[in-house]
Structure 1
Amino acid sequence: MDAAALQRLSAAFEAAIAARRLPGAVLYVAQHGETRCFDALGWQDAAAGVPMRRDAIFRIYSMTKPIVSLATLMLVEEGRLTLGDPVARYLPEFGTQQVAVAQGDALRLAPAQRGMAVQDLLRHTSGLTYEFLGNDPVQRLYREVDIASRARSNRDMCRLLATLPLARQPGAAWLYSRSTDVLGAVLEVVSGMSLGELLRQRIFEPLGMRDTGFYVPPEQQHRIAEPFAVDPDSGAAVELIDVRSAPVGESGGGGLVSTAADYARWLQLMLNGGQLDGVRLVSRKTLEWMTADHLGAIPIEGDLLAPGHGFGLGVAMRTVPGLAPTPGSVGMYHWSGIGGTTFFVDPREGLYAMLLAQAPGQRVHYRTLLRNLVYAALD
């Protein structure tokens, strides 16, 4: 990688911080097993004047999803579930769901043509939705019952969610959703332990991810990265999840905190085909399966998947060299968090890159900037 080009990457983010577009950021780029960039820029807490540090702890939101997806495939490798299993086998409350058919502002309910499967949860074809992505009748129902509350256990969230209609027929469309939250509850039933304990035992401890979990213990809370109090574009107050106490609900879709060094361990494991430093979590073929396209002709709703991309089991993946408004290789996979974090892995280039920031309103621009400038640094 070109060192001067990588300096441009850091300089671009330093300029954004100087312009108060971002409070601070940690950048991490590695290729062929060597760290090429690991920069802590700006402020960990701008209001308190605390400089950013490399080991700052970030709310990674939906970058939780690929880790929970990997844990699912580890249990598949052990024969404890299959992706074709109906979700209702583990969570019977999903056995009688109906599908909402909108008629103006009213809802008509139709029977589900089939039950959702575990694969549907992994690839977001379950028929579930997210309450913050729009204002259709089902999304309003999600908001009315406060489905996002972290005060409910994963199973209690599922029991409530199952009383609400599906937004689409299972398998009919890719629709980003609370699928991975439901998947977390499935893993709890299969494993017989909480999602946090499962991830700790099977992924975090084996990989040495000491600062990754569903909350930050008191002795480490001085390392939490904070957003601006007010969004620099909208002027609205910025509210991120409180990670200073253990939640009742350990959200598989968006509840983890982590650091750049911890998450880099996970990304290097993925790039290595499922093993790191003598520890193997999954087989090479399982990772190939995870990062392959699982949509085919299934239509994609919304704008979260760029043109030229499909979706695997917990990650978006690039299917063609062109079409997308950002560079990348076929087979590159990625995902991001609504709080301002993002990563991508490019097996063809032996490369991964990550941006950790707490700037939800600016996330799309800066994840694009990261992608453009990292690829610009390849010789």
Structure 2
Amino acid sequence: MNQAKNLSPARLGRMRDVLGGHVARGDVPGLVALVARRGEVHVEALGTAETGGGAPIRRDTVFRIASVTKQITAAAAMTMVEECLLRLDDPVDDLLPELARPRVLAHPAAPLDDTVPAHRPITVRDLLTLRLGTGAVMAPPGATPIQRAMDEAGVAPRPGGQSLDPGIWLKRLGELPLVHQPGERWMYDTGMDVLGILMSRAAGRPLPDLLAERLFEPLGMTDTGFHVPAGRLHRLPFAYRPDPETGTLVPADDRSRWASPPVFPSGAGGPGLVSTADDLLAFCTMMLNRGRHRGERILSRPSVELMTTDQLTAGQKADNAVFFGGNSGWGLGVGVLTRRDDLAAVPGRFGWDGGTGTSVYTDPAEHLIGILLTQRAMTSPAPPPWHRDFWTCAYQAIDD
């Protein structure tokens, strides 16, 4: 365990005590917590790979990172924008004819045949900013016709990911009307899955290969991908979710499902990539260095700055207070803090959480990277206590 000169050793000990308490109480079976600042790295690996015992969690344990995938997909997309393979304000129609000339519901609760033409085409920017016009409808399940139709078609966002071939999924999505006009409102998740398909078609390469070539290989992210090779499967811990009635942790998925590539590699993160704390540190360090990694440029500085600038209006955030909490917004594929109202709420801090229990943010103002990886699924976009405690402990340890 490294003692970081930019972080208080005593206060890092407090982090271990606080997070260790969550493990001891059974809130999470195990976790890896990493805080990096100005080249110094502090890591805590606590608990076990399964409830009741098993192998200890280690620094190189491989975790399901879910929606943390989004910022990685977005960074790869921006490398393609820089090469002019994609253009932010170009319509997606040529590459995604399934989404050409969309119809839009007259209002979000309208019958599926009560539609109007889209005011304009869907663009690449719409996908990255999640203003595609469709996605997760924040209402009780089945409350509106479009929710029921998305569920029946198998295209609604869901934690377990999509089971359809991407082409079939996109065809079914395109057969349904949009909920909002393109560019009008922020709707979670779906735009990043569409973006992954767009990227694959633009490059003529499967999304897993595309991410490997553009990010994982140059950054040395050797344990990151859409599945876990057989020789590393033992490093993937069991995943859990709380039983809604008892609160007891129960298995969330079969570990063996990760032994082979998925039918639908999700750019959004359902279920998305697997990774380790050190692989994610490499990615975040590149972003903190404004696109550079060990002297090589992965992204331009302007691209990183654009990605990490809030792109939403107040009206576009209005229906999504549970995601933004009044102090944040959304850039290109990544959440961005905009207002200081807590220890960790530093304006300009960017990143996102994953529904499988992960949280990864980069803070340029404090030169700080925080990575929390657990195997307990979240039950709400609002962070659970151990997430909040991790971020409090990370920022209270700053020693200058």
| TM-score in terms of structure 1 length | 0.93
Query: Are 2:239 and 1:248 equivalent residues in the alignment?
Result: no
Q: CA 1:354–1:51 in structure 2 vs 1: closer, same or farther (change >3 Å)?
A: same
Contact 2:108–2:180 (8 Å) recurs in 1: no
In 1, the alpha carbon distance for the partners of 2:16 and 2:149 equals 43
Report the secondary structure of 2:369's partner residue.
strand
Decide which of 116, 125, 144 is 2:152's aligned counterpart. Answer: 144
Query: Are 2:32 and 1:15 equivalent residues in the alignment?
Result: no
Give unpaired runs (5+ residues) of structure 1.
none
- Deviation, 1:368, is 1.9
- The aligned counterpart of 1:372 is 392
Q: CA 1:256–1:160 in structure 2 vs 1: closer, same or farther (change >3 Å)?
A: same
- The aligned counterpart of 2:276 is 259
Q: CA 1:348–1:229 in structure 2 vs 1: closer, same or farther (change >3 Å)?
A: closer
- Deviation, 1:118, is 0.7
Percent of pairs with identical residues = 36
Q: CA 1:73–1:229 in structure 2 vs 1: closer, same or farther (change >3 Å)?
A: closer
Q: CA 1:229–1:94 in structure 2 vs 1: closer, same or farther (change >3 Å)?
A: closer
- The aligned counterpart of 1:219 is 231
Cα deviation code 1:235-281 (max 9, x no counterpart): 47442473222112111111111011111110111111111112211
Contact 1:129–1:139 (8 Å) recurs in 2: no
Q: CA 1:174–1:229 in structure 2 vs 1: closer, same or farther (change >3 Å)?
A: closer
- The aligned counterpart of 2:172 is 160
In 2, the alpha carbon distance for the partners of 1:258 and 1:90 equals 30
- Deviation, 1:102, is 5.1
In 1, the alpha carbon distance for the partners of 2:259 and 2:137 equals 25
When the two chains are superposed, the root-mean-square deviation of aligned CA atoms in Å is: 2.1
- Deviation, 1:295, is 1.2
In 2, the alpha carbon distance for the partners of 1:271 and 1:221 equals 31
- The aligned counterpart of 1:46 is 51
Q: CA 1:98–1:60 in structure 2 vs 1: closer, same or farther (change >3 Å)?
A: same
Correspondence list, 1:64-75, <5 A: 64-75=69-80
What letter matches 1:141 in structure 2?
A: A
Decide which of 281, 298, 308 is 1:281's aligned counterpart. Answer: 298
What letter matches 1:186 in structure 2?
A: L
Contact 2:71–2:351 (8 Å) recurs in 1: no
What letter matches 1:280 in structure 2?
A: R
Bigger mean CA deviation after superposition, 303-312 or 15-24: 303-312
Query: Are 2:77 and 1:60 equivalent residues in the alignment?
Result: no
What letter matches 1:197 in structure 2?
A: D
Contact 1:174–1:298 (8 Å) recurs in 2: no
In 1, the alpha carbon distance for the partners of 2:108 and 2:325 equals 30
Q: CA 1:321–1:297 in structure 2 vs 1: closer, same or farther (change >3 Å)?
A: same
**Runs (4+) of structure 1 moved beyond 6 Å?**
none
In 1, the alpha carbon distance for the partners of 2:18 and 2:276 equals 22
Correspondence list, 1:1-379, <5 A: 1-35=7-41, 37-47=42-52, 49-101=54-106, 106-107=111-112, 108-130=114-136, 134-135=140-141, 136-147=144-155, 150-228=162-240, 230-231=242-243, 234-235=247-248, 237-240=250-253, 242-254=257-269, 255-300=272-317, 301-302=319-320, 303-322=322-341, 327-361=344-378, 363-379=383-399
Report the secondary structure of 1:73's partner residue.
helix
Contact 1:131–1:143 (8 Å) recurs in 2: no
Bigger mean CA deviation after superposition, 214-223 or 146-155: 146-155
In 2, the alpha carbon distance for the partners of 1:128 and 1:99 equals 9
In 2, the alpha carbon distance for the partners of 1:365 and 1:185 equals 35
Q: CA 1:337–1:369 in structure 2 vs 1: closer, same or farther (change >3 Å)?
A: same
Contact 1:27–1:355 (8 Å) recurs in 2: yes
Cα deviation code 1:285-334 (max 9, x no counterpart): 21111101111344212211121212100111122223xx5532221112
In 2, the alpha carbon distance for the partners of 1:364 and 1:10 equals 17
In 1, the alpha carbon distance for the partners of 2:14 and 2:253 equals 30
What letter matches 1:153 in structure 2?
A: D
In 2, the alpha carbon distance for the partners of 1:8 and 1:105 equals 53
In 2, the alpha carbon distance for the partners of 1:90 and 1:173 equals 23
In 2, the alpha carbon distance for the partners of 1:132 and 1:16 equals 30
What letter matches 2:87 in structure 1?
A: T
Report the secondary structure of 2:238's partner residue.
coil
Equivalent pairs counted in the alignment come to: 376
Report the secondary structure of 2:187's partner residue.
coil
- Deviation, 1:190, is 0.9
In 2, the alpha carbon distance for the partners of 1:125 and 1:103 equals 15
Report the secondary structure of 1:96's partner residue.
coil
In 1, the alpha carbon distance for the partners of 2:220 and 2:76 equals 16
Give unpaired runs (5+ residues) of structure 2.
1-6
| TM-score in terms of structure 2 length | 0.88
